[in-house]
């Protein structure tokens, strides 16, 4: 059996990392055109770097919750019996890795990685993004940006993701509002390929009507219970 899990900000909410579109979400406090687009970075790189530096600082203190640990356990136990978990996240945090997940595909990039705007070289980096930083690959200064996918940019690893989804027996969406494509379209693609689908979220998402099975409540409670059901079945 192959299970494809897609996670969103809701899986990290109980770890203290804010979601985007809930009450008090990131996009209720910041203008996404200003801080999360290539045009915004070109207009005001200082403000954009400050925004991501604050999010990097939050990441340092954040710890995985029971949902992240349950998914790491699921990966290990499925592998032990010859099955497979394919974990794809829209999150730019590293809480799946901190919980012990071994293979995590970050389709929206990673906050703790810096990318050079000029040559696109990436390197792990949890420190503050600065205008003075010199790229280790091309030697130019002033191009340091977070390795996150901004609005108007292509998500990462899409070929790999499409292949994994096509091979799945079950597609499970956890903690996402289902409002950002292409991830929001995975459930429809899965349904069209005859793959069983399940939504786990605090409340019905924009795509709730497409899913076969739905489980609602906090991820820290619902995900471990779902993992137990999968492994016990």
> Annotated binding residues for Zn(2+), as ranges?
116, 119, 135, 138
Q: Would you call 174 helix, strand, or coil by DSSP?
A: strand
Rg over CA atoms, the chain:
18
Contact between 179 and ligand APR per CB under 6 A: yes
Length of the chain: 233
Q: Would you call 111 helix, strand, or coil by DSSP?
A: strand
Q: Mark the segment that binds ligand APR (CB under 6 A) among 122-130, 159-167, 172-180, 191-199.
A: 172-180
Task: Write down the least CB distance from residue 201 to ligand APR, Å.
Answer: 5
Active site residue 96: no
The residue within the footprint of ligand APR, chosen from 55, 73, 108, 215 (CB under 6 A), is 108
The residue within the footprint of ligand APR, chosen from 177, 195, 197, 226 (CB under 6 A), is 177
Query: Which parts of 8-129 are beta strand (E)?
Result: 84-89, 104-106, 109-116, 122-124
DSSP letters spanning 129-151:
--SSPBPTTT--BS-EEEEEPPT
Q: Would you call 82 helix, strand, or coil by DSSP?
A: coil
Of 151, 195, 156, 194, give the one whose Cα is nearest residue 173.
Answer: 195
- Please identify, using beta-carbon distances, which residue of 51 and 133 lies nearer to ligand APR: 51
Contact between 30 and ligand APR per CB under 6 A: no
Contact between 180 and ligand APR per CB under 6 A: yes
Residues lying near ligand APR in the complex (CB under 6 A)? 8-10, 13-14, 19-22, 25, 90, 108, 175-177, 179-180, 201-203, 205, 218-219
Positions marked catalytic: 108
């Amino acid at each position: 059996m192959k299970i494809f899990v897609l996670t969103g900000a809701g899986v990290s909410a109980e770890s203290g990392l804010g979601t985007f579109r809930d009450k008090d979400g990131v996009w209720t406090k910041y203008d996404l055109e200003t801080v999360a687009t290539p045009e915004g970075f070109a207009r005001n790189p200082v403000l954009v770097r400050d925004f991501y530096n604050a999010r990097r600082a939050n990441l340092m203190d954040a710890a995985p919750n029971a949902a992240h640990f349950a998914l790491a356990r699921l990966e290990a136990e499925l592998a032990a019996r010859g099955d497979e978990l394919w974990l794809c996240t829209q999150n730019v945090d590293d809480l799946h890795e901190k919980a012990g997940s071994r293979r995590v595909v970050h389709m929206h990039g990673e906050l703790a990685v810096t990318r050079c705007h000029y040559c696109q070289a990436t390197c792990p980096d949890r420190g503050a993004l600065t205008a003075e930083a010199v790229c280790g690959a091309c030697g130019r200064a002033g191009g340091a940006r977070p390795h996150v996918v901004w609005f108007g940019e292509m998500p990462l690893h899409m070929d790999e993701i499409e292949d994994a989804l096509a091979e799945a027996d079950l597609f499970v969406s956890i903690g996402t509002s289902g409002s950002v494509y292409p991830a929001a379209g995975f459930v429809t693609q899965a349904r069209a390929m005859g793959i069983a689908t399940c939504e786990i979220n605090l409340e019905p998402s924009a795509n709730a009507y497409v899913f076969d099975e739905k489980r609602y409540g906090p991820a820290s409670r619902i995900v471990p219970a779902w993992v137990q059901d999968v492994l016990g079945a």
